[in-house]
Chains A and B, each alone.
Chain A
Amino acid sequence: MFKSLRTGTKLLLLCSVFVGALVVATYSLIAEKQIAINFVRKELVGVEYLEALRGVYADILTNKRGLPASTDEAARTLAEMESADFDQLDTRALEGALASMIDKLALTADADQRRAILVDALTAARRLASRIGDDSNLTLDPDLDSYYVQDIVVAKIPTLLSQIGELQSQLETLSPGNASTASLAVGVLVLDGMIRSTLDGIESDLQASYRGGSGAQLREALDGNVETMVSTGKSYLSAVKASLAGANDASALNRSYSSAVSSANDTWSVSLAELKRLLNARLSYLLGKLRSSLLLNGLLVALSIAFAVVTGRHIVQPLLKLERLADKVGQTQNYRLRTDYESRDEIGRLAAAFNTMLADLAAAREREATDAARQAAMRTELARAAKITTMGEMAASIAHEINQPLAAIVNNANASLRWLSQDPPNVMRARSVLERVVGDGARASEVISSIRGMLEKSGQDRTPLDVNDLIREVMTFVRADLRSHGIAVKTELAEALPLVSAVRIQLQQVLLNLIANAAEAMVAVEDRTRVLTVRSQKTDGSDILIAVADSGTGIAETDNERIFEAFYSTKPEGMGMGLSICRSIVEAHGGRITASVSPCGSVLIVSLPSDQLRQ
């Protein structure tokens, strides 16, 4: 099936398969890149979320004394967070828990209860941050810098803030001279250690992140902040120790607390911004890569199409041109046409071979034409020779035909002269003999005019004539002669026949010839009556039939067709001209002559087209 395809189609197929492969490759590339891009986008969502959460933290920590406004602010932020397109992160339950705690915080007046709720709220917030980190892929970040930054942002700073918040609330429990100072001191100590370890973790994370791609930029943006955060954190811890020792007053503690919180908050904010920057850089890098890949693939597709088109033009066009030329040569037989395509490739060689072939063909054609001309000349020569031979035969036959009546005329004329020159002149005999002369003269002239008519083969002298009249006429000539040979004559003429257009003398000749043949065929018949029947008839198809039937010896099956050939005779001394001439005459009149054998004798039928149409 592939074989029968056109070359252009094949090229198109090849090209489209190639383009298809490219498209599939491009699609998978896009899909892969899309995964990475979506990954980054999700991370960005996480960053936004954390930014929002940062506000909640700030609200919780800075307004811990429980102003409804600040808790309202936090609740509103949370509600916004919910309504924003953070749906992709599975944080609803945690958000709800956090929100309810914030509500509770706002509604609760009792300080102790508020502190407990505050610690729970901070824990919930920390969990939410961690969940955000997990669900937004931030914790799975593949790059060194952004990974450690996200660790700071997602885990470390919220932890730090929670720890600081918890420590502060414990200290507040402590301050009015509570009895359980000892157990509280242990809790403070534990928290102090935890905060220090968190700060260490932040620092080590930061160091690790500097080893990433955009370390220098990170260092510039974060170094100062983190340093500040660590120092304020540590000074807050010192303030806590001093406060526990009773050396410090509450306001100093609060001051250092709020500066630690705000510094951590700032660092968080800057880190988030940096993380956002890193992620955006990655996103734009990925998008740029995708674009350039797409551009490259598009370029490849365009190139392959262009190449296919060019190839097609260089293969298909010349082939089409050759085909058209071949067609033209076939139609016009003009072998001097040539193709003007030139190239060193296969098609160029094919074109050259085609031109050579055409040149050979032209030469062969010329030879053939010369041969044909020579053969035609030879044929003409032969035909002329054959014609001369036939003409010689014809001439002898014609000479004989004319000589007979001429001899009779001369004899009769002499005889009548002698009758007249007798004393007394025998006028009676002379007259009867002269009548013979007239008859013979007419016969000679008929022979001549029929020969002329035959040679001219023209329909000029044709006249519309009634076949029945013709038959009656001929029968009057021959009736006596036939009777003298013991032949009974019957005529069966159809009435009201249409006329035929014919040369009268020629049809007479045909009829006479057929009757003479019929009579001759009956000479040998002794055992039955010799009957000659002449019939006229009209066929369904407006042809006129003249049938001459005899009760003679019939025609041998093998002779049936040949009797109409020239020089074929069944008679020992026959010239073989009679029926052949009859056929020529009948056919010249657009008719046919056929012979058939009946059980008693033969029937020769002349069919002539009637003149009906012209009447």
Chain B
Amino acid sequence: MTENPEPIVFVIDDDASVRESLRNLLESVGLHAELFDSTQAFLDFRRPDTPSCLVLDVRLPGLTGLEFQNELLKLGIPVPIIFITGHGDIPMSVRAMKLGAVEFLTKPFRDQDLLEAVRVALEKDRGHRRDQKALASLQALFDSLTAREKEVIGLISAGLSNKQIATAMGISDATAKVHRANVMRKMEVRSLAELVRMADLLGVGEQSLLIR
């Protein structure tokens, strides 16, 4: 995984000249564009793991742009979408925005609007990707804990003291202390508050409560 991968802007539009003009515009600000004349072509494309966004024409042969947005959500492809359309109306744009579209632009649009939308979308994807990455490393730390230690994390994040934990687990106070120290070490945290936040991110607290 490269440290600073080049973002990609995907464009789906059935009109070749519009497609090409978008590529020209994006390349003029140094963005790499991948063009598709249909949604299927986009799905068939092996997308690299890099920050990306999708510029999507509402009116397409086959599925409409809005239907394709739904499809992507179902498939779990969390790419931020910027809609472009020849004749958009308000209900259509509201629906698109509710489903998480970044922007809804009516052709012909101002280049700044599109580029700003692309920037926002890429930033959003970047952030998303960053969060995803952090969560993944946290999960890896969490996975290195023993079953007892995972149980202890849940109890700690629930706000129980050592003594209470020992009582709850049916162990001695000393053993509870050792577990706690091990957890702090393995999870690479120094304070209790930090541990509780991680447990929150991982959803451990709820999990353990549910177990209980």
Q: Please report the C-alpha to C-alpha distance between residue A573 and residue B29 in the assembled complex, in whole angstroms.
A: 34
Provide the residues of chain B in CB contact with A419, threshold 8 Å. Answer: 28
One of B103-111, B191-199, B203-211 at the interface: B103-111
- Does any Cβ of A come within 8 Å of B166's Cβ? no
Choose one: B17, B28, B59; the contact of A400 (CB below 8 Å).
B59
> Across the interface, do A411 and B111 meet the contact criterion of CB distance under 8 Å?
yes
- Determine the residue in chain A with the shortest Cβ distance to B22: A411
> Across the interface, do B87 and A403 meet the contact criterion of CB distance under 8 Å?
yes
* Known contacts A400-B59, A419-B28, A408 near B20 by CB under 8 Å: yes
Choose one: A410, A571, A572; the contact of B109 (CB below 8 Å).
A410
Choose one: A406, A415, A436; the contact of B108 (CB below 8 Å).
A406
Counting chain B CB atoms within 10 Å of each CB, the highest count among A396, A411, A439, A443 belongs to A411
- Does any Cβ of B come within 8 Å of A418's Cβ? yes
* Known contacts A404-B15, A439-B17, A440-B17, A573 near B108 by CB under 8 Å: no
Question: Hey, what's the 0/1 contact readout for A223-267 against B, CB within 8 Å counting as 1?
Answer: 000000000000000000000000000000000000000000000
Choose one: B24, B87, B107; the contact of A412 (CB below 8 Å).
B24
> Across the interface, do B61 and A436 meet the contact criterion of CB distance under 8 Å?
no
Q: Please report the C-alpha to C-alpha distance between residue A435 and residue B56 in the assembled complex, in whole angstroms.
A: 25
> Across the interface, do B21 and A412 meet the contact criterion of CB distance under 8 Å?
yes
> Across the interface, do B111 and A403 meet the contact criterion of CB distance under 8 Å?
no
- Does any Cβ of B come within 8 Å of A40's Cβ? no
> Across the interface, do B108 and A403 meet the contact criterion of CB distance under 8 Å?
yes
Provide the residues of chain A in CB contact with B61, threshold 8 Å. Answer: 571-573
Provide the residues of chain B in CB contact with A405, threshold 8 Å. Answer: 17
Provide the residues of chain B in CB contact with A436, threshold 8 Å. Answer: 17, 20-21, 24
Provide the residues of chain B in CB contact with A400, threshold 8 Å. Answer: 59, 86-87
Provide the residues of chain A in CB contact with B62, threshold 8 Å. Answer: 572-573
Q: Please report the C-alpha to C-alpha distance between residue A440 and residue B18 in the assembled complex, in whole angstroms.
A: 9
* Known contacts A571-B61, A572-B61, A404 near B18 by CB under 8 Å: yes
Chain A residues 343-365 with CB under 8 Å of chain B are none
> Across the interface, do A411 and B86 meet the contact criterion of CB distance under 8 Å?
no
> Across the interface, do A433 and B18 meet the contact criterion of CB distance under 8 Å?
no
- Determine the residue in chain B with the shortest Cβ distance to A404: B15
Provide the residues of chain B in CB contact with A439, threshold 8 Å. Answer: 17
> Across the interface, do A407 and B60 meet the contact criterion of CB distance under 8 Å?
no
> Across the interface, do A418 and B28 meet the contact criterion of CB distance under 8 Å?
yes
- Determine the residue in chain A with the shortest Cβ distance to B111: A414
- Does any Cβ of A come within 8 Å of B25's Cβ? yes
Question: Hey, what's the 0/1 contact readout for A404-437 against B, CB within 8 Å counting as 1?
Answer: 1111111110111111001000000100010010
- Does any Cβ of B come within 8 Å of A399's Cβ? yes
Provide the residues of chain A in CB contact with B116, threshold 8 Å. Answer: none
Provide the residues of chain B in CB contact with A440, threshold 8 Å. Answer: 17, 21
* Known contacts A415-B27, A418-B29, A573-B60, A407 near B20 by CB under 8 Å: no
Q: Please report the C-alpha to C-alpha distance between residue A439 and residue B15 in the assembled complex, in whole angstroms.
A: 14
Choose one: A417, A429, A443; the contact of B17 (CB below 8 Å).
A443
Q: Please report the C-alpha to C-alpha distance between residue A125 and residue B152 in the assembled complex, in whole angstroms.
A: 198
* Known contacts A396-B87, A414-B28, A415-B28, A403 near B107 by CB under 8 Å: yes
Q: In angstroms, how far is the closest chain B Cβ from the Cβ of A105?
A: 157
* Known contacts A399-B87, A404-B17, A411 near B60 by CB under 8 Å: no
Provide the residues of chain B in CB contact with A410, threshold 8 Å. Answer: 21, 108-109, 111
Provide the residues of chain A in CB contact with B60, threshold 8 Å. Answer: 573
Q: In angstroms, how far is the closest chain B Cβ from the Cβ of A605?
A: 27
> Across the interface, do B87 and A408 meet the contact criterion of CB distance under 8 Å?
no
Q: How large is the interface on A (under 10, 10 to 19, 20 to 34, 35 or more residues)?
A: 20 to 34
> Across the interface, do B109 and A408 meet the contact criterion of CB distance under 8 Å?
no
Q: In angstroms, how far is the closest chain B Cβ from the Cβ of A414?
A: 4
Q: Please report the C-alpha to C-alpha distance between residue A429 and residue B87 in the assembled complex, in whole angstroms.
A: 30
Q: Please report the C-alpha to C-alpha distance between residue A409 and residue B25 in the assembled complex, in whole angstroms.
A: 11
Provide the residues of chain A in CB contact with B20, threshold 8 Å. Answer: 408, 412, 436
- Determine the residue in chain B with the shortest Cβ distance to A484: B16
Q: In angstroms, how far is the closest chain B Cβ from the Cβ of A523?
A: 10
Provide the residues of chain B in CB contact with A416, threshold 8 Å. Answer: 24, 28
Provide the residues of chain A in CB contact with B108, threshold 8 Å. Answer: 403, 406-407, 409-411
> Across the interface, do A408 and B28 meet the contact criterion of CB distance under 8 Å?
no
Choose one: B16, B21, B59, B87; the contact of A411 (CB below 8 Å).
B21
Question: Hey, what's the 0/1 contact readout for B72-95 against A, CB within 8 Å counting as 1?
Answer: 000000000000101100000000
Counting chain A CB atoms within 10 Å of each CB, the highest count among B15, B21, B22 belongs to B21
Provide the residues of chain A in CB contact with B17, threshold 8 Å. Answer: 404-405, 408, 436, 439-440, 443
- Determine the residue in chain B with the shortest Cβ distance to A426: B28
> Across the interface, do B24 and A411 meet the contact criterion of CB distance under 8 Å?
yes
Counting chain A CB atoms within 10 Å of each CB, the highest count among B25, B27, B28 belongs to B28
Provide the residues of chain A in CB contact with B87, threshold 8 Å. Answer: 396, 399-400, 403
Q: In angstroms, how far is the closest chain A Cβ from the Cβ of B24?
A: 4
- Determine the residue in chain B with the shortest Cβ distance to A422: B28
Q: Please report the C-alpha to C-alpha distance between residue A433 and residue B59 in the assembled complex, in whole angstroms.
A: 25
> Across the interface, do B28 and A403 meet the contact criterion of CB distance under 8 Å?
no
Provide the residues of chain B in CB contact with A422, threshold 8 Å. Answer: 28
Chain A residues 277-318 with CB under 8 Å of chain B are none
Provide the residues of chain A in CB contact with B86, threshold 8 Å. Answer: 399-400, 403-404, 407
Chain A residues 361-413 with CB under 8 Å of chain B are 396, 399-400, 403-412
> Across the interface, do B15 and A411 meet the contact criterion of CB distance under 8 Å?
no
Q: Please report the C-alpha to C-alpha distance between residue A436 and residue B21 in the assembled complex, in whole angstroms.
A: 8
- Determine the residue in chain B with the shortest Cβ distance to A396: B87
Q: Please report the C-alpha to C-alpha distance between residue A465 and residue B191 in the assembled complex, in whole angstroms.
A: 87
Q: Please report the C-alpha to C-alpha distance between residue A228 and residue B7 in the assembled complex, in whole angstroms.
A: 184
- Determine the residue in chain B with the shortest Cβ distance to A414: B111
Chain A residues 189-221 with CB under 8 Å of chain B are none
Q: In angstroms, how far is the closest chain B Cβ from the Cβ of A558?
A: 23
Question: Hey, what's the 0/1 contact readout for B23-57 against A, CB within 8 Å counting as 1?
Answer: 01101110000000000000000000000000000
Q: Please report the C-alpha to C-alpha distance between residue A396 and residue B87 in the assembled complex, in whole angstroms.
A: 8
Q: Please report the C-alpha to C-alpha distance between residue A421 and residue B22 in the assembled complex, in whole angstroms.
A: 18
Q: Please report the C-alpha to C-alpha distance between residue A571 and residue B22 in the assembled complex, in whole angstroms.
A: 26
> Across the interface, do B59 and A408 meet the contact criterion of CB distance under 8 Å?
no
Query: 7 closest pairs, A vs B, by CB?
Result: A411-B21, A418-B28, A414-B111, A407-B107, A415-B24, A410-B108, A408-B21
Q: Could you write out 16 A-B pairs with CB less than 8 Å apart? A: A403-B107, A406-B107, A407-B18, A407-B109, A410-B109, A414-B111, A416-B28, A418-B29, A429-B28, A436-B17, A436-B20, A440-B21, A481-B16, A572-B62, A573-B61, A573-B62
Which residues from chain A sit less than 8 Å from chain B, CB to CB?
396, 399-400, 403-412, 414-419, 422, 429, 433, 436, 439-440, 443, 481, 571-573
Task: Supply 18 further A-B pairs (C-beta < 8 A) apart from A414-B28, A415-B25.
Answer: A396-B87, A399-B86, A400-B87, A403-B86, A404-B86, A407-B21, A407-B107, A407-B108, A408-B20, A410-B108, A412-B25, A415-B21, A418-B25, A418-B28, A418-B29, A422-B28, A573-B59, A573-B62
